[in-house]
Chain A
């Protein structure tokens, strides 16, 4: 207990806090760029899953199943230690970005797919009967509704993505967890090091949790009925 409350140790932590901030910078870059890749891949493969041309949903399935059913750690180790043996070397930062990007892209693809499927089929059929093409149905009818349905699970994925960047510490990726381990280990001040790391991740994730809750609240609200003039004008 004396070790947890040792003033000397906490003072040293504040003295060395620039290391943690350097880690926070890496984590932020990896999380932001990783999220961009994950969103791009997720939307692409999510939409492909619902396309009627048979081969495309298959490709999406393979991507999703492959990345969802292998651990992120294994994937990251493969990029970092496996690929160099076949002559491909990816910088650590890129390993992190690609790692969480590809991994969470698969989850986001599933979120997008289920969001598309959640829009009642009748609406699609109705639109098609009015002469809408597939892209128009998607653009005007389905995707705007999908967006609202998927936003809460999407922010949830973003939060998980932030936390999963900590896998970088295992390949010396200079993120928050790497510096926390390094600092804690070199000084022997484990309470201070790991508590600070936890706090920094919390600072990054807590706003996302709040955002998820807020979006869920918003999604529940039914839009107020638009005024229709007793259907009279429709006959004109």
Chain B
């Protein structure tokens, strides 16, 4: 009996210590701490052309969200956007990893085609939206699918932890079309599943779909569930949230945002 009590108390002590350790984090992610460290850690997409894309030829990130990250760093470290390029450390994220990485302090800001929703606002802070996109469908040309009505009974591949599934369900319910879903972690894996015929439709925001279109696929006419992308920061980190929001509203106000969008054909 004594033995068991001792075992239990050791276990309890160990878990308390573990919790205490994880609880210690989070103090260091204020604006001053980032300025002191001299590096802004940004979570971005690495597989979405024109938004966040790791160019394999140059091994550098490029896209609208990458340029926004440089502008935020410029404000943070009080330098030009060009100089700020040295001070941003990018981490490739996907829909599943971006939340936890933000929560545990691995990254300071997420700029990764992150749709703003009321539910998500309870977990993270979002900036003013910098881009509005709509969901669409990508199908194989030889699949026999030509219009929305053909989707009945088909399998739709969507990204895990994305808003796409709900948006598609709602959109198709109005048309009395029922489909099943398969969720994947990355866009390339959804594309492979489409090409290999494991799914019939690849559905995500059209801006992202366009970077996966090739000569075997085509984009259906459907356009629905317009959604806003925002920069996300940790819920507790109000100071950084305000700074990020200020940069984005400034960029929209003085036309820099439009210039960047034009650069990536996103208008």
Contact = CB atoms under 8 A, between A and B. Distances in A.
Interface stretch (B31-39, B96-104, B207-215, B251-259): B96-104
Interface stretch (B6-14, B85-93, B177-185): B177-185
B192 A81 contact: yes
B197 to A, nearest CB: 5
A79 to B, nearest CB: 11
Nearest to B20: A1
Contact of A84 (B19, B189, B196): B196
> Interface SS of chain B: helix, strand, loop or mixed?
mixed
A81 B198 CA distance: 8
Contacts of B162: 185
A89 B197 contact: yes
Contacts of A94: none
Nearest to B155: A172
B160 A185 contact: yes
B19 A172 contact: no
A178 B183 CA distance: 8
Interface residues of A, number: 21
B193 A185 contact: no
Contacts of A178: 183
Interface string B112-130: 0000000110011000000
Interface in B151-171: 157, 160-162, 165
A181 B96 contact: yes
Interface of A: 1, 3, 80-82, 84-85, 89, 92, 170-172, 178, 181-182, 184-188, 190
A3 B22 contact: no
A34 B161 CA distance: 29
B156 to A, nearest CB: 11
A185 B181 CA distance: 15
User: 10 shortest A-B CB distances, which residue pairs?
Assistant: A185-B161, A172-B182, A84-B196, A188-B123, A81-B196, A185-B96, A185-B160, A190-B100, A188-B99, A84-B197
A186 B198 contact: no
B160 A188 contact: no
B56 interface: no
A193 to B, nearest CB: 10
Contact of B160 (A80, A82, A92, A181): A181
Given A1-B19, A182-B183, A188-B99, A172 B193 contact: yes
18 contacts: A1-B23, A81-B198, A84-B196, A85-B196, A170-B189, A171-B193, A171-B198, A181-B161, A181-B183, A182-B160, A182-B183, A184-B96, A185-B95, A185-B96, A185-B161, A188-B119, A188-B123, A190-B103
A89 B199 CA distance: 12
A1 B196 contact: no
Contacts of B123: 3, 188
Contacts of B19: 1
B118 to A, nearest CB: 12
